[in-house]
C-alpha cells in the first residue's frame, strides 16, 4: 500500500478553477475569456466565432479598465489601447468590436488551458480559428454548466481578476501589497500608494476558489447566492471573541478566514466561541500553504500575516492555537457531511 492515497482525482470543476485561480498571471485576458464563456453559456459542440465572442469579451475588459488601468505586466498593448479609446469616447462600438476580433484573442486562446506550463487534462474548447474562425465548445464545458456550483464560478473569476489587477495597479512590488478584510462589509481591501482605501472584492468570492463550494469544516455544500439558505458565513477560524483577550487585530487576517455553513458557525452544535480541533488546524495550515504555493494574489498577504516560511507559519499557528485553547477551553469539530473535498 502506498503511504499516501489521494482521496479524489481533480474533477472538471477543479480543472476550471486551476485555470482561473491558480495559473500564473501576466495578463487579464484569461479572466475576460472565462467570463465571456460563462456568460454566453454555449452548449457542447457549439462553434463560437471570434465575432460572437468579441462583444462580450470587450465588454468585460472595458469595464475592468475603468476600475484598473493596468491589465497586464507587459508595457503597451494595441488592443488595450483600443479598449481605452472606446472608454474615452474617441472610437465607436464597432471599432471596438473590430479591434477585438483582430487583436484581442491572440495569446489567450492558446494559453487559456495552461497551468504550470502544461495544458490541463480537461479542455473546455478546441481552437478552430484557422479553419472556422472560432473555438468549438467541448463536452467538458457542458458538464461544468450542469454543476450545482456553476453560478459561483463567475463570482470567483471576478474576485480573482480584481485581486490580480489590484496588485498590478498598485505598481509597487507585490511584496508590499497587503490585503485586509473588512468584517462589516465582508470585503477585501487594500491601500494605494497614497494610503487611500481601495476595495478589492468580496471576501466570500475570494475564499471560495479553494473551498470549491463546500463548508470548511463539515463539507456541506455552500453557494454564493445571498438568496439561498446555503449562503455561507465568513468565519473566523480562531473566533473573533479572542480580540477581547489581546489576540486581535490579526484575527481578521485572511490567514484566519474560512467559509462555513450556518450550522457550523452558529447552528445547534455550531462552533461559536470554541477552538476547532488540531485536525482542523492542520486543514487551515494546508489551505494557507496551498494559496502561498500557488502564486495566489493573497500569497504575500498570507506570508506577512503568518510567517515567511513553512517553519515560521507552523509555529505561528501552533502558538496561536495554544493561546486560544487556554482561553476558550472547549474544542470543537462537527461531523462531516461528505468525504473530504480539500
Ligand atoms: Zn459546515
The whole-number pLDDT of residue 73 equals 75
| β-strand pairing of 233-236 with 197-202 | unpaired
272 pLDDT higher than 80: yes
Which residues place a Cβ less than 5 A from the ion ligand 1?
215, 217-218, 220, 261, 264
21 pLDDT higher than 80: no
The whole-number pLDDT of residue 6 equals 56
DSSP structural state of residue 26 = S
Q: Measured in angstroms, how far is the CA atom of residue 225 from the centroid of ligand 1?
A: 17
Cβ atoms of 198 and 189 closer than 8 Å: yes
Residues found in the chain: 342
Span 241-265, average pLDDT: 89
Q: Measured in angstroms, how far is the CA atom of residue 340 from the centroid of ligand 1?
A: 12
The whole-number pLDDT of residue 209 equals 84
Least confident stretch, 62-76, 164-178, 193-207, 274-288: 164-178
Chain centre to alpha carbon of residue 56: 21
Span 231-255, average pLDDT: 88
Cβ atoms of 303 and 292 closer than 8 Å: yes
Cβ atoms of 48 and 134 closer than 8 Å: yes
269 pLDDT higher than 50: yes
The whole-number pLDDT of residue 314 equals 94
Residue 134: strand pairing partners: 49, 128
Give the residue ranges of DSSP H helices in the chain.
12-17, 29-40, 50-67, 78-87, 93-99, 108-111, 129-132, 139-146, 150-169, 203-211, 262-266, 278-293, 299-306, 310-328
Q: Of 137, 72, 140, 139, which is closest to residue 106 (Cα–Cα)?
A: 72
User: pLDDT above 70 covers what percent of the chain?
Assistant: 93
Q: Measured in angstroms, how far is the CA atom of residue 38 from the centroid of ligand 1?
A: 28
Cβ atoms of 273 and 251 closer than 8 Å: no
* Per-residue pLDDT band at 173 (split at 50, 70, 90): very low
Amino acid at each position: 500500500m502506498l503511504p499516501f492515497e489521494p482521496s479524489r482525482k481533480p474533477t472538471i470543476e477543479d480543472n476550471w478553477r486551476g485555470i482561473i485561480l491558480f495559473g500564473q498571471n501576466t495578463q487579464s485576458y484569461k479572466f475576460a475569456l472565462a467570463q465571456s464563456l460563462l456568460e454566453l453559456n454555449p452548449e457542447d459542440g457549439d462553434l463560437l466565432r471570434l465575432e460572437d465572442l468579441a462583444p462580450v469579451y470587450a465588454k468585460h475588459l472595458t469595464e475592468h479598465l475603468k476600475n484598473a488601468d493596468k491589465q497586464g505586466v507587459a508595457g503597451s498593448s494595441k488592443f488595450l489601447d483600443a479598449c481605452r479609446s472606446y472608454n474615452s469616447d474617441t472610437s465607436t462600438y464597432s471599432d471596438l468590436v473590430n479591434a477585438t476580433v483582430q487583436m484581442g484573442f491572440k495569446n489567450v486562446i492558446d494559453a487559456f488551458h495552461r497551468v504550470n506550463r502544461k495544458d490541463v487534462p480537461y479542455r473546455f474548447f478546441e481552437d478552430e480559428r484557422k479553419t472556422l474562425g472560432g473555438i468549438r465548445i467541448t463536452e467538458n464545458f457542458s458538464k461544468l454548466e450542469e454543476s450545482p456550483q456553476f453560478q459561483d464560478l463567475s463570482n470567483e473569476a471576478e474576485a480573482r481578476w480584481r485581486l490580480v489587477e489590484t496588485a498590478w495597479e498598485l505598481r509597487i512590488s507585490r511584496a508590499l501589497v497587503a490585503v485586509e478584510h473588512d468584517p462589516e462589509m465582508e470585503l477585501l481591501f487594500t491601500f494605494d500608494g497614497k494610503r487611500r482605501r481601495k476595495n478589492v472584492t468580496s471576501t466570500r468570492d475570494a475564499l471560495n476558489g479553494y473551498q470549491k463550494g463546500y463548508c470548511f469544516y463539515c463539507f456541506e455544500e455552500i453557494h454564493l447566492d445571498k438568496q439561498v439558505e446555503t449562503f455561507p458565513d465568513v468565519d473566523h477560524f480562531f473566533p473573533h471573541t479572542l480580540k477581547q483577550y489581546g489576540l486581535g487585530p490579526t484575527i481578521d487576517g485572511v490567514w484566519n478566514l474560512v467559509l462555513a455553513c450556518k450550522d457550523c458557525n452558529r447552528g445547534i452544535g455550531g462552533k461559536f466561541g470554541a477552538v476547532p480541533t488540531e485536525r482542523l488546524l492542520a486543514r487551515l495550515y494546508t489551505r494557507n500553504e496551498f494559496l502561498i504555493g500557488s502564486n495566489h494574489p493573497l500569497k504575500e498577504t498570507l506570508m506577512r500575516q503568518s510567517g515567511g516560511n513553512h517553519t515560521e507559519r507552523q509555529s505561528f499557528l501552533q502558538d496561536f492555537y495554544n493561546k486560544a485553547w487556554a482561553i476558550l477551553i472547549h474544542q470543537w469539530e462537527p461531523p462531516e457531511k461528505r468525504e473530504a473535498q480539500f
